[in-house]
A and B are shown apart, each in its own frame.
Chain A
């Protein structure tokens, strides 16, 4: 089975722009979660989608949004980029939205904001 794929792998944007990142979960997985990883704040949960519905959201401003499609693929969008948004964005998929299901992580998209 193919793993979680994320596109693009690297992205450079300037302040004020917006960006869309894409995540394709493992086939058959219906839950997708997004995390932000920075040297200062570590790994922080952004949001989780299951069956096209946002189930849970972390403590991030409204500039961060996401969605999930009927094929379980997910996108996250960041509007009005700030320098502090530079980070590795990780997507994780799991079979169901359940506490004991393992989350499988993709390689991440490294976003640099100049």
Chain B
């Protein structure tokens, strides 16, 4: 069965500090992996996606993620947090042959000024 686990439902960082949001996946076949961000009262916006082209994926707003098959991980990072990064972040997986996404439980990022 395919699923994702996000460690830490809440993460707080100081403005300018490194952001690290963790995601581990469980899939019996090579997955497609995604990170989405959700701002209050809004839908989901795609930050980046892994589709096997490159293990280090760069996304929007300075975020990037590295696919590590040996660790079944796809952690999201950003070198320097901004206040505008405060939001909820979701890791999602999609397997070959299916279009629907399986989401993690989300991590709420707070940025402290």
Tell whether B45 is near chain A: CB-to-CB under 8 Å. yes
Cα–Cα distance between A16 and B96 once the two chains are bound (Å): 39
Given A31-B99, A42-B103, A42-B106, CB of A99 within 8 Å of CB of B43: no
CB distance from B67 to the nearest CB of A (A): 14
Size range of the interface on A? 20 to 34
Is the Cβ of B99 less than 8 Å from the Cβ of A99?
yes
CB distance from B62 to the nearest CB of A (A): 19
Cα–Cα distance between A43 and B36 once the two chains are bound (Å): 12
Tell whether B94 is near chain A: CB-to-CB under 8 Å. yes
Cα–Cα distance between A97 and B94 once the two chains are bound (Å): 12
Q: Return the CB mask of A74-114 against B: 1 if under 8 Å, else 0.
A: 00000000000000001010100111111111111000000
List, sorted by A's number, 17 A–B pairs whose CB atoms are closer than 8 Å: A33-B100, A35-B101, A35-B103, A42-B106, A43-B103, A50-B99, A55-B99, A90-B43, A94-B99, A99-B95, A99-B98, A100-B51, A101-B99, A103-B99, A105-B45, A106-B43, A107-B43
Which B positions have Cβ atoms within 8 angstroms of A?
Answer: 32, 36, 41-46, 49, 51, 90, 92, 94-106
Which A positions have Cβ atoms within 8 angstroms of B?
Answer: 4, 31, 33, 35, 42-45, 48, 50, 55-56, 58, 90, 92, 94, 97-108
